[in-house]
Amino acid sequence: MRKASLLLIMVVFAGTSFAQIRIAPEVGLNIGGMSRTVEDIDIPLLGSVSISTENKTRVGFRAGLIADIPVAENVAVQPGIFYSTQAVKTNFTVFILDISQTLKVNYLLVPVNVLYKFGTPDKGRFFVGAGPYFGYAFGGTSDIEDPNGILTGLAGGNTGGTLPAIESGDISIGSDTMDSAKPFDFGLNFNLGYELPQGVFVRGQFGLGLANTAPIESYKQKNWGMTISVGYLIGFNKKGNKEEPVSN
């Protein structure tokens, strides 16, 4: 996160040499969650066991700030910082036993997108873009549906760290077998949106996590999802005085 924050600061300061930098609050919903799979594992007294997973999308929340920094004609860099919730419902099946876990993980995200904006600033225009993001998990919740109470008892440390932590309540973040997610994540964002001359914009974004955030080797967990958000660009001149919103 330190490197990501430093990159964000460098990009913002680099943009001060341009005539117009804009700041925008942005809020939206995450539609997606995580891809979660468990490999065949060895459980004491049971031997090799196959566990299947079925992941269902859930809605999370996203809010933060971006800076819109023009770097060339119709091209802008948009670093930002966001609070974001990744949510997923996973059905685990072993033998004929089923358990469902709804997992929500809170993240601090630092995206850096490069956008190309079509048309001229005095008219509404579409934009497309892409860029990396860096994430830091700092908590979340877990809700378990385990009618038999068997799989919950087999989870985490009770199997020598071969199963993910399966329990209800607040989750822990870290690299231990009873943690629900590693703290760091990174990946790519792909953007498509529309910006009005007054500064209001709508963004659709697909995020693809590249890091395995599961703390145990037999378990794979990667973030992904669609985000639908709205924002409002507020203009500032070189001296930092507030101006009426204008486009690049």
Please write the tens of the pLDDT for every residue from 143-155. Answer: 888 766 655 555 5
CA atoms within 13 A on the CB side of 228: 3
On whether residue 244 sits in a domain, the answer given is no
Report residue 106 CA to chain centroid gap: 9
Q: Which residues contact 207 (CB under 8 A, 6 or more apart)?
A: 32, 133, 187, 188, 189, 190, 223, 224, 225, 226, 227
On whether residue 6 sits in a domain, the answer given is yes
Q: Which of 221, 197, 246 is nearest to 38 (CA)?
A: 221
Q: Are 175 and 213 in contact (CB under 8 A)?
A: no
CATH code: domain of residue 158 = 2.40.160.20
pLDDT band at 36 (very low <50, low <70, confident <90, very high): confident
On whether residue 248 sits in a domain, the answer given is no
On whether residue 107 sits in a domain, the answer given is yes
* Structural domain of 54: 2-236
Q: Per-residue pLDDT averaged across 207-221, rounded?
A: 88
On whether residue 245 sits in a domain, the answer given is no
Whether residue 39 is predicted with pLDDT greater than 80 in this model: the reply is no
On whether residue 30 sits in a domain, the answer given is yes
On whether residue 12 sits in a domain, the answer given is yes
| pLDDT reported for residue 20 | 83
On whether residue 49 sits in a domain, the answer given is yes
Number of structural domains (the chain) is 1
| pLDDT reported for residue 77 | 97
203 token code pair: 């963004």
